[in-house]
Amino acid sequence: MQPDAIALPTPAPRRKKPALWRRTQEFWLPLVVLTLLVLAWEIACRVFGVPAYLLPSPSAIWGETWAMRMQVLTHAGATFTTVMVGFLVSVAISLPLAVALTSSRMIANAIYPILILTQSIPKVALAPILVVVLGANELPRIVITFLVAFFPLVLSCAAGLLAVPPELLELGRACRASKWQELVRIRLPFAMPIVFSGLKAAIALAVVGAVVAEFVNADRGLGYLIVSATAFFKVPLAWGALILLSFMGIVLFQIVVAVERILVPWSNDNGKL
């Protein structure tokens, strides 16, 4: 028998996990763990008699937050507006800027140091100056949110546009594709998974930027609510605003993940580790 006639064993195909098990891992398992942590928190506060001004129990947080639910929702709406406007502005500016940075070495050398300079300035120190320059209104908070969110988005967009294999670019040039066709049909589709990684980081940072801006100058918003609540020793209300901020960040992050699954079905990530 010839050596090449020997039949090699073929590896068994990997069995896919049932849909119910996947849903359990993705949703129910984290929910169960979170519920157990909340219960442990509640029991510890009751057993050890922890004062509410140090660490309020979940029931105290819920009670005080629910009692002021209308005011809390109003502040949450103000923060949500700042987050979304700052995030959308960062998206509208970051993608064209990334295209410009990757299309010309001269443009990259001229603009990239300025981008680094904008990120080296602490936003907490910049916020009062923006209030003086732009006025005590919503605009300084939007600018701070934009500055916090757009830099990682620019980097991810530029990295995705530069990560295209040279073979694909050579194939496009062999087919006489124009620069615009190369960008739209080759670079952008290949870069979209990396771009969405930047979008997920940017939406999370936008929440952080909005709260930082509200700490410095605001008359509404969850950041303002946290500052005012702690000033009057309403610690459970401050915790409630903090938890609501975390929930807002998680929901916005999952919305970006859902959009990625729809627009970029070929991505290997789609928000999972």
**CATH (domain of 216):** 1.10.3720.10
Tell whether the model's pLDDT for residue 149 goes beyond 70: yes
Distance CA 163, CA 194 (A): 9
Does residue 32 sit within a domain?
Answer: no
pTM: 0.81
HEC states along 177-219? CCHHHHHHHHHHHHHHHHHHHHHHHHHHHHHHHHHHHHHHCCC
Does residue 246 sit within a domain?
Answer: yes
Does residue 16 sit within a domain?
Answer: no
Does residue 35 sit within a domain?
Answer: no
Distance CA 184, CA 17 (A): 36
**Both tokens assigned to 160:** 């995705």
Does residue 29 sit within a domain?
Answer: no
Residue 224: domain span? 58-263
pLDDT: which is higher, 7 or 195: 195
Tell whether the model's pLDDT for residue 256 goes beyond 80: yes
Average pLDDT over residues 13-20: 56
Residue whose C-alpha is closest to residue 164's, from 143, 135, 185: 185
Note the pLDDT of residue 16.
Answer: 53
Average pLDDT over residues 177-183: 77
pLDDT: which is higher, 168 or 93: 93
Give me the number of domains the chain comprises: 1
What is the average pLDDT value for the chain, to the nearest integer? 84
Distance CA 65, CA 110 (A): 50
Query: Which of 20-34, 69-83, 103-117 has the largest mean confidence?
Result: 69-83
